[in-house]
Amino acid sequence: MKVNMDFYKHYAEIKNGAVIQYPVNPRVLLASTGDYNVPPYWEGGDLDGKTYVFCHDSKPQTDYTEVLVETTPYYDTEKQCWYRGYQKQNAPAELIALRLNTAVETTQNNIIALLDVYSEAQEINFELSDKQKEAWSQYRNELLLIPDQPGYPMQISWPKTPDSAATAMKLEVVRV
């Protein structure tokens, strides 16, 4: 079984309920047996006179203007387990700009893909009722107005595809 070695970066050595050292990797390859001293996905315990705990990862939500900096692990008394600690900090201006540019590019690609769906619907335009044509026209206009939304590009309210898509694609069967 292949084990993700990053898993072993999330142990802390504790003493009397306080973190002594973090991160630590208690896993050691024993030359005599060719095995490791702890099993894969070990939750922690006493080893060589030291106490180790696995620190679970539960990152807080951030927005594009923030980054997480790892801090000292903490014990959650309600869940009765250790967690990696994080602190939110302001992201550097370069990272914010990169995140915004990536979001703009992704959003523009999504808009283009959805406009392609609109174009395909227009190709079968002769099968659409006037009401369906109006719904598709409204949909196209809403797609084109996405960049004008106040939260663009990080918070977008996407328009719904008109329900007529399925009915417009149906084929009529004629008996001979």
Within its chain, how far is the Cα of 173 from the centroid? Answer: 45
Residue 26 neighbours by CB distance under 10 Å:
20
Residue 73 neighbours by CB distance under 10 Å:
20
Written as six digits, the tokens of 151 are 């939260």
What is the helix (H) or strand (E) element at residue 71, kind and residue range?
strand 66-76
pTM over 0.85: no
For residues 131 and 38, what is the distance between their CA atoms, to the nearest angstrom? 67
Written as six digits, the tokens of 93 are 């201006």
For residues 72 and 84, what is the distance between their CA atoms, to the nearest angstrom? 7
At residue 46 the predicted structure's pLDDT band, cuts being 50, 70 and 90, is: very high
Predicted pLDDT at 5: 53
For residues 29 and 3, what is the distance between their CA atoms, to the nearest angstrom? 14
Written as six digits, the tokens of 61 are 């939500």
For residues 30 and 15, what is the distance between their CA atoms, to the nearest angstrom? 25
For residues 118 and 37, what is the distance between their CA atoms, to the nearest angstrom? 60
Say whether the peptide bond before residue 73 is cis (omega within 30 degrees of 0): no
Predicted pLDDT at 133: 84
pLDDT tens readout for residues 7-16: 567 899 999 9
Q: Which residues contact 74 (CB under 8 A, 6 or more apart)?
A: 82, 83, 85
At residue 176 the predicted structure's pLDDT band, cuts being 50, 70 and 90, is: very low
Q: Name the amino acid, one letter, at 145.
A: L
pLDDT tens readout for residues 55-114: 999 899 999 999 999 999 999 999 999 999 999 999 999 999 999 999 999 999 999 999
Q: Name the amino acid, one letter, at 156.
A: I
Read off the pLDDT of each residue in 105-129 and give the average, rounded to a whole number: 84
